[in-house]
């Protein structure tokens, strides 16, 4: 949520957000990218185009269903990208979407 939160306008938070949880079996293929494998400027704002190239390759090559990489905001945590076009996506149980509203304290 933090990754998305920093991209929105505090004066006009979206009112139609949803949150979706998923149950991902350990057997679903994944590629884990450690910080050391990312470009040296990977936390730069705006993000370097090399990061988009990594994401695009993940999506188009379909070598794994998941790409796990460090968060630019909290590098000790990970973001998980899910490729819905990968055959193993069918093994992931996507739960129903639920409405989500940011707590007003995020904007103060």
Q: Are 54 and 33 in contact (CB under 8 A)?
A: yes
On whether the pTM is more than 0.85, the answer is no
User: What span, in angstroms and rounded, lies between the C-alpha atoms of 86 and 63?
Assistant: 8
Residue 31's pLDDT is 97
What are 6-45's pLDDT values in tens digits? 777 777 777 888 999 999 999 999 999 999 999 999 999 8
DSSP symbols for 10-53: TTS--SS-EE--EE--TTS-EEE--GGGS-TTTT-SSPPHHHHH
Tell me which residue of 9, 11, 1 sits closest to 73, measured CA to CA. Answer: 1
Q: What is the mean pLDDT of residues 45-67?
A: 94
Q: Cα 75 from chain centroid? A: 13
- Cα atoms in the Cβ-side hemisphere of radius 13 Å centred on 57: 7
């Amino acid at each position: 949520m933090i990754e998305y939160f920093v991209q929105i306008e505090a004066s006009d938070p979206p009112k139609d957000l949803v949150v979706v949880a998923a149950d991902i079996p350990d057997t679903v293929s994944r590629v884990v990218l450690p910080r050391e494998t990312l470009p040296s400027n990977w936390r730069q704002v705006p993000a370097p185009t090399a990061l988009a190239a990594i994401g695009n390759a993940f999506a188009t090559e379909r070598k794994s269903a998941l790409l796990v990489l460090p968060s630019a905001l909290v590098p000790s945590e990970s973001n998980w990208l899910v490729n819905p076009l990968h055959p193993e996506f069918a093994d992931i149980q996507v739960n129903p979407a639920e409405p989500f509203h940011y707590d007003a304290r995020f904007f103060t």
